[in-house]
Structure 1
Amino acid sequence: MSVASSQFGPAHDALARVLDQAPPVIDEPLRGMTRLTTPWSHGALHDHLGGMDGHVIITYYDEPQEIVWRRGNERLAGETRSGTITIIPEGHEGRWDIAGPIGVSHVFLARQRLAECAEQLSGGGQIDLMARVGFEDPAAARIMELLGREAANLDASARLFTEQATDLLVTQLVRGHSSFAALQAPARRGLADWQVRKVTDYMRQHLDEPIGLDVLADLAGLSRFHFCTAFRLATGETPHNWLVNLRIERAKQLLAKSDLPITSIALAVGYETPSAFSASFGKRTGMTPRLFRQRL
């Protein structure tokens, strides 16, 4: 059975066309024509996927693989590892490149089910899901694992469990991966600890490169504007100051534990010239890099 077709087309049929195999969708739909799959596997994907009817939520099993979505100048990337999810909102189209094979399970979420949850949380109004690619959300991933395990069991107790677990998943999606979340989260508490860790880890791994706000905002799953506000609430620092502090701390380590020339250290922590590095280092330490090294 398929959900009603729209201008885009049923999501599981669209996936079947680009994957050359049909997702194992359970025949019996849940409330609101929501569909589940059991865990399954498919190979690599390098193709354009058109807009679909309804939202597609995916979690992953087995060995991690790189996953990338592109549309024009837009790009999202991640890994298909345990504890992460991908969200393809209704009508969202673009090119997908996924190294395979990967283990997956899917929830095909009709707009009606999302609207029911949105009504309870926001009192009405349209709520849009955000696109996610290999995005860290252990709670949502765990719920989806449970749904995948129970999907093929059609007795009364399993049916009750899957309906309630799906409600929990939808609530998590609205709270953490929607326009409602983007508006509410910064005003409430800033970034979650895992978001600060993810952004900080990325900064540390790319200290020698230019790092733009758009990339950091994507990592946290927020717009650029909301990310800057939320980051300041969570850390007391702007993203720029946080990055500069990480660069200076790394420079201190290199000055203390290596014989690298100061010019090389400047490049290693993201400064194009020794003078820019010295100015930034002096502002935060009160001395030049050379003097810092001499006093060790």
Structure 2
Amino acid sequence: MTAVDAGRRDGATPDTSPGLGLEILRPGSNEVTEWSFSAPEHTVLLWRRGIVADKQVAFAGKRMRQVSARRSGIWVVPAGDSASALARDTVSVEYMRLLLPTHLITTGSLRQVVSQTDPVLHGLLERIVSTAGREDAVARLLRDALFDSARLHVLDAYGTDRRLPIERGRELDHVTRDQLSAYLHDSFDRDVQLDALADIAGMSVRSFRRAFRVAFGTTPHQYLLDLRVGRAQALLTTTRLSAAEIAALTGFSNPSHFATTFKRRVGVSPTRFRADAQ
């Protein structure tokens, strides 16, 4: 028998956003596996893959119930609650665990949920996992945005009170917008931290995200990508630099990431763009 508790890490841990934690847990293949979860944070478990002959779950004080182990199956354990599970004949099991501190669930709490599937949340978490190991500015901004989207999705889908508090934060004035624009234009080829941008505006990161979108019509992540791709277009048409050299000069983590992003935004590969421009 293998027991897995909330404090044990059995798999890779992707990079996390401030205040949130995401882990991939791999209890392995066993005749009998027991799980127990109890934490001061909200715990959201999502089945990733694996084979299970029989699975039962229960929240504290309630009877065990039979559930199916399905891809994207979700199990929500609210902060302070405890839950357990028993599975038989597990093979190559993997699941994700998302920890949400209570202060990030801004109204009410979360409901106890089991035996539902959530492909939307699964897609968000897989996209976060795909950026693991990358420390370039675009990857960090993307992770922040994806974590916030996951948080809001969980709050909307499983919250006890779906009303979000009305946020009447200040807008970005002309001077601050110019400062941010100048900073991003000067730093697009280097690491850009979201909290550094928020500091320029004198805001919290959460308030800054909203204010930036209102002021610029897009997110910091997308704005930075536009700058990088625009600079890459100029270098492709005015220099003989290779795609790898241009990727490095414009802040992309590697040539493959540069080529994929460029084609997605421009519609053609960097090589094709250069050839068409000649």
- TM interval, short-chain normalised: 0.3 to 0.5
TM-score by length of 2: 0.48
| Bigger proportion of residues as helix | 1
TM-score by length of 1: 0.45
